[in-house]
Copies of this chain bind each other. A is one copy, B any other.
Amino acid sequence: MEEHYTIGALSRAAGVNVETIRYYEKIGLLKTPLRASNSYRYYNHAAVQRLQFIRRGRELGFGIAEIATLLELADHPERPCCEADQLAQTHLRDVEQKIKDLQAMQLVLQQIVTCQSDIAADCKLIETLGSH
């Protein structure tokens, strides 16, 4: 059970690339790992889980600061989770707003893309952007 990982093994296990792991360490999202005599980083299974937690958070669109808060909470299961709820709700609203913004773009772009003209003079896209 006493598995340990080099940074490359951790990378594969958690699905996060090596440079990113070092970056997370630098910004304090991952605590500094043990070092072997050759100064290589060595990680344990807990690090894999922590990194997977981070990756899943990122996949849901949470920012680094938000994930740091969530990790803190995960480390202290006795604390109230209203902060996590708050984060999730705010983030959901952000996501929904982004979807709306993108759908508005989509609508305009769909109208433009039907353009069949040959020259820029009557290209719908150019016309749309240049209209007063």
Contact = CB atoms under 8 A, between A and B. Distances in A.
Q: Specify how many copies of this chain sit in the oligomer.
A: 2
Contact of A126 (B60, B73, B112, B113): B73
A128 interface: yes
Contacts of A64: none
Contacts of A95: 102, 105-106, 109
Interface stretch (A18-26, A29-37, A85-93): A85-93
B113 A88 contact: yes
At the interface, is chain A mostly helix, strand, loop or mixed?
helix
Contact of A89 (B81, B103, B113, B130): B113
Interface of A: 49, 52-53, 56-57, 59-61, 70, 73-74, 76-82, 84-85, 87-89, 91-92, 95-96, 98-99, 102-103, 105-106, 108-110, 112-113, 115, 117-121, 123, 125-126, 128-130, 132
